Structure 1
């Protein structure tokens, strides 16, 4: 496969993954698909999971991957960047995509480890309160579905966060791999040239 065709093969999935990351991050702002949780409670307690506000999917897996994807795609266009210089620049853009993917991956991992913020109670704390009941569990709550019942509001917030943060995690991993491959592809394109007629 020539380096230009490889760039196209890499760029198209990056577009899709960047879009998925942005959508997941936006949806995370609305647990139970309600806007009221994006605000603070009457006692000043934040009702939104802190990792959502880090915007790993929007900034890292979204914008920081989308911009490199555009340039990587342009390296497959004969009359634009399909030359040694374009391939050299694609290495830097792909490296920026790697950083974005790592940021998104880190935030998603942290979101899964700490769990959601919710109105919760259990046997030890019988009075419902807003907080992150699984923050000190090191992610052990993920294996114990009985613990998920501690969260009373938003409804099914554990499953909601688990699904979206897991999607962000997988998307970031694939973005990371694709951008790393493009760094190698860009190096080959820079040294050996592309498949375009004019170098």
Structure 2
């Protein structure tokens, strides 16, 4: 498979990951599946790690990767391959943007998982207040602590599941963009192994 075709595969893989990241971040605005006031939403949700980092910033590299295979590489200073080489080189910059976006999502998700959700906790005997009762990830290994959150329903598992998905997706996206950095360097230095002009009928 030529470097452009491989980049297209990476782009195809990244697109659904972007969509899932955005959906996860949106769901986090409804803790436990309930609608709450904005001040009762966990702080890290408002950093838009899934929407901005693994979503919007990742869409640009994905679209660039998708278009590399069909890039017109003819007519560049009389050298039919230099256009494709330049395109592969420029894809490295977009891959770097993708790494930064996914990295941002990973950092935000890690902080959110470590801190735990903002939820209702007992304040005295019969009143409640909104607080983050967990610290340093202590609730991850001791699920009995989850009972400290009295609402919204299933808030701890909701928070942990969605941020864990964002964390995993961010790591996958970073890995895919890192692979494209290597692929882009090889494509820029060695050229695309597929012919792309006039009499070249290389296989994908």
TM-score (norm 1): 0.89
1:23-51 CA distance string (max 9 Å, x none): 1001100112222x1x25xxxxx211000
Match runs of 1:5-154 below 5 Å? 5-35=5-35, 37=36, 39-40=37-38, 46-79=39-72, 83-121=84-122, 126=125, 127-134=127-134, 137-154=135-152
Distance 2:69 2:48 in 1: 31
Distance 1:158 1:121 in 2: 16
Distance 1:112 1:66 in 2: 25
Q: Which runs of 5+ in 2 are unaligned?
A: 75-82
Q: Is the 8 A contact 1:83 1:196 kept in 2?
A: no
**How many residues end up aligned between the 2 structures?**
188
Q: Is the 8 A contact 1:78 1:196 kept in 2?
A: no
Q: How far has the Cα of 1:139 moved from its partner? A: 0.6
Q: Aligned Cα RMSD in Å?
A: 1.9
Runs of 4+ more than 4 Å apart:
none
TM-score (norm 2): 0.87
Distance 2:159 2:115 in 1: 11
Q: How far has the Cα of 1:80 moved from its partner? A: 7.4
